[in-house]
Structure 1
């Protein structure tokens, strides 16, 4: 039992023995994993820019762009629905490495088949489905290690979550900026070859970074693998989410917003850039503006976020992120206003993932993280495959401006949930005294360890 003296009050907190490497602050595993995640996400961004542009160029159909997005994201949901126990049994290190290698092979096959003159639309859908199937387990396997890596680095979880999201945002920025330029210079097919190479780099980098880390290896279980044991382990993750009102609320709200965001990024923004702006260059610049500011927001929150209450910051940020971009895109056909609003929304968006990640990691026990994070990933992405599909058909049916306003209105309703429902205020009470203390260790900044 550890006693913290803060502000004249004694706070009791149940702890385990602090490992030696926590005290020495070994940041090499965290740094290496951040680098591997950066490379992997950069590749994903190149894919999700190159493929929609390739489909638009070859078919001139927003609906087919939506179909490809649906085929990509449906396997993501299916893999997340059932993947948690598999990650625990196979091991987080093996799953992440296999995920990157499989995605690289699938992405490389698209341009190679195109160059051979035998790529059909259904083949493209199948290959993109393969990338979605393997992407989700790999991302989950890397994400659940963050609390362990933060502990080994002697770093508060809030700061580590900010760095993790910042690396992802930086990768999205890099991929978006490079994607728009490379598509214009090299063509979408050659960009996908560059993308495949990024996965070949990310896989061994992650394997090196977490070697010897017990939490990255397969869990040793007395009970042999069986369908009954698998179902029970799978159900544990979903029961935990259902029994935790805050996690359940996060899942339900982000279920809606992720679907709407997918419609925006996969269909609405590319179509708007093609019809109203200067094509792929403006598309890349808009994504870069959003990415730069989102990266800034994530890093700033990682540095100073522990000083502020989470619920009001989260609520205001989500309201900013939602409706404005849809309204601006619907009523203007110039680059400047949309670039400004996406930059502002990027700053707000940068704080969302670190807050949600910190709350989740503080709430979920380590032994359940793979299963709970798989369950939450599946839950929030249940309608994501439909986002691009619905947006594509809406654009073809009622036009781009009407679709933008409709989806923006639904987004506004979803982001009002933290204002209306009281469970969201629990965001400010999930952390331990250790994580909310100033500095890395409980002894620092006015906390006395007895």
Structure 2
């Protein structure tokens, strides 16, 4: 039975994911309804990408020097405020393109450091509770899959019973509740070990931790944050792309999958269902994918030892490709939902595997830098995918856009299967020890 810090971590993660999954359905629909232009929606995502990237790097700088639990709580509260302001502004002045940019940037200040802080806490929580990291990543992915079923379905229900923008109040509430759950984690969780003892300490050789109050503030003086962020970016890029061929290849694969999926979820499907007069189906579509991910993640958690990592990897890639091609044909709703479920089914094991590689290959002392840089890069990849989808819709219409995205997914699959770095995934103890030091091209 889960207890202690593990349970509280999962509750906080689930609440945050629930709010984000609701917002992920509602915000594109609100944006399309207010602007009436798919290309404008894609342009907005691209405009916000660089400021979001900067926030991600600054967040990574903070996380290697300040209490990660405190950063997580504060970030959730900022996210709640940014989302709550959307219906407030809409009711008083009306939402415009400029308001979407301003509130999107405010949300990035909270979302990016908070997401990275929660990721950085996960291995520490596992170590504290004596939980196997690989199995816990699979269990966490299963919970995430469950949330991606309930959240979008709830969003579809909310859109059906209230004005679309008012559904964001639920997201704000979830973010506040996530902050409260994170605040209950044990005091020592998230504290950063000092790199050197202070001269005035009575026990010079004892390890120190930075407390969430005065010591944390002293560890991150404002005047050095920019310099630190530059160092974090350098360290993070070096950790992600320079030390392990496996980590480098898995990160690049994640980027390719993320770009195509963001095109689908961020603009293509909302525009497709809005054009069909059934915007609420956007949430149900994502829920269908979540059902598949839940089943796939549970199967991987229970059966991960029955097959090698390479076998799971190949099966997952091929299965995801089948689902993506089915989606690209944009068939009638039942077949479209079935394709989404197939994609999710095989994405569950793949997501758990890639998550395990990220946590297992990153060194403890650079975890904040690496994960902060990784999440910041996702904030560029995602908007690029949304902009790509909006550009394709404006140029060649939605039906042709689906075929192009299916072709891109096939290309990503072929490259991943042929990658030398993704052939030996450390299944054997003898190779696992050297995998983290492996060098080579993807």
Q: Secondary structure at the match of 1:416?
A: helix
The answer to whether the 8 A contact 1:74-1:385 is kept is: no
The answer to whether the 8 A contact 2:138-2:301 is kept is: yes
The counterpart of 2:372, out of the listed 371, 374, 378, is 374
Corresponding residue of 2:8: 32
**Is residue 83 from structure 1 mapped to residue 59 from structure 2 by the alignment?**
yes
Corresponding residue of 1:256: 256
Corresponding residue of 1:48: 24
The counterpart of 2:191, out of the listed 172, 195, 217, is 217
Corresponding residue of 1:243: 243
- 1:154 Cα deviation after fit: 2.9
State how many pairs are aligned.
407
Distance in structure 1 (CA, Å) of the matches to 2:153 and 2:159: 10
Structure 1, gaps ≥5 residues long: 1-24, 436-450
Corresponding residue of 1:350: 348
Spell out, residue by residue over 1:77-127, the C-alpha distance to the aligned partner (whole angstroms, 9 max, x if none): 333334322112122101111111011101100101111134322112220
- 1:189 Cα deviation after fit: 1.4
Question: Structure 1 residues 329, 178: closer, same or farther in 2, change over 3 A?
Answer: same
Written as runs of structure 1 = structure 2, the 5 A alignment for 1:135-284 is 135-208=111-184, 210-214=185-189, 216-222=190-196, 226=224, 231-241=230-240, 242-276=242-276, 279-284=278-283
**Is residue 401 from structure 1 mapped to residue 399 from structure 2 by the alignment?**
yes
Q: Secondary structure at the match of 1:427?
A: coil
Q: Secondary structure at the match of 2:131?
A: coil
Distance in structure 1 (CA, Å) of the matches to 2:118 and 2:327: 36
Corresponding residue of 2:310: 311
Question: Structure 1 residues 234, 305: closer, same or farther in 2, change over 3 A?
Answer: same
**Is residue 64 from structure 1 mapped to residue 40 from structure 2 by the alignment?**
yes
The answer to whether the 8 A contact 1:363-1:430 is kept is: no
Distance in structure 1 (CA, Å) of the matches to 2:335 and 2:292: 15
- 1:329 Cα deviation after fit: 4.4
Distance in structure 2 (CA, Å) of the matches to 1:433 and 1:32: 35
Query: Could you tell which deviates more after superposition, 391-400 or 417-426?
Result: 417-426
The counterpart of 1:115, out of the listed 91, 94, 101, is 91
- 1:358 Cα deviation after fit: 1.4
State the TM-score, normalizing by the size of structure 2.
Answer: 0.85
- 1:326 Cα deviation after fit: 4.8
Q: Secondary structure at the match of 1:383?
A: helix
- 1:402 Cα deviation after fit: 1.3
- 1:338 Cα deviation after fit: 0.7
The answer to whether the 8 A contact 1:315-1:415 is kept is: no
RMSD: 2.5
The answer to whether the 8 A contact 2:323-2:341 is kept is: no
Structure 2, gaps ≥5 residues long: 198-218, 434-442
Spell out, residue by residue over 1:175-233, the C-alpha distance to the aligned partner (whole angstroms, 9 max, x if none): 1000111112112111011111111111011110x22234x024434497546555444
The answer to whether the 8 A contact 2:330-2:336 is kept is: no
Distance in structure 1 (CA, Å) of the matches to 2:389 and 2:352: 28
- 1:392 Cα deviation after fit: 0.9
The answer to whether the 8 A contact 1:102-1:134 is kept is: yes
Query: Could you tell which deviates more after superposition, 67-76 or 155-164?
Result: 67-76
Query: Could you tell which deviates more after superposition, 341-350 or 223-232?
Result: 223-232
Query: Could you tell which deviates more after superposition, 192-201 or 301-310?
Result: 301-310
Query: Could you tell which deviates more after superposition, 226-235 or 59-68?
Result: 226-235
Corresponding residue of 1:363: 361
- 1:152 Cα deviation after fit: 3.0
Question: Structure 1 residues 101, 265: closer, same or farther in 2, change over 3 A?
Answer: same
- 1:238 Cα deviation after fit: 1.9
**Is residue 92 from structure 1 mapped to residue 68 from structure 2 by the alignment?**
yes
- 1:74 Cα deviation after fit: 4.5
Question: Structure 1 residues 164, 75: closer, same or farther in 2, change over 3 A?
Answer: farther
The answer to whether the 8 A contact 2:327-2:340 is kept is: no
Spell out, residue by residue over 1:326-359, the C-alpha distance to the aligned partner (whole angstroms, 9 max, x if none): 5444352x21111111111111011122111212
Corresponding residue of 1:292: 291
**Is residue 419 from structure 1 mapped to residue 395 from structure 2 by the alignment?**
no
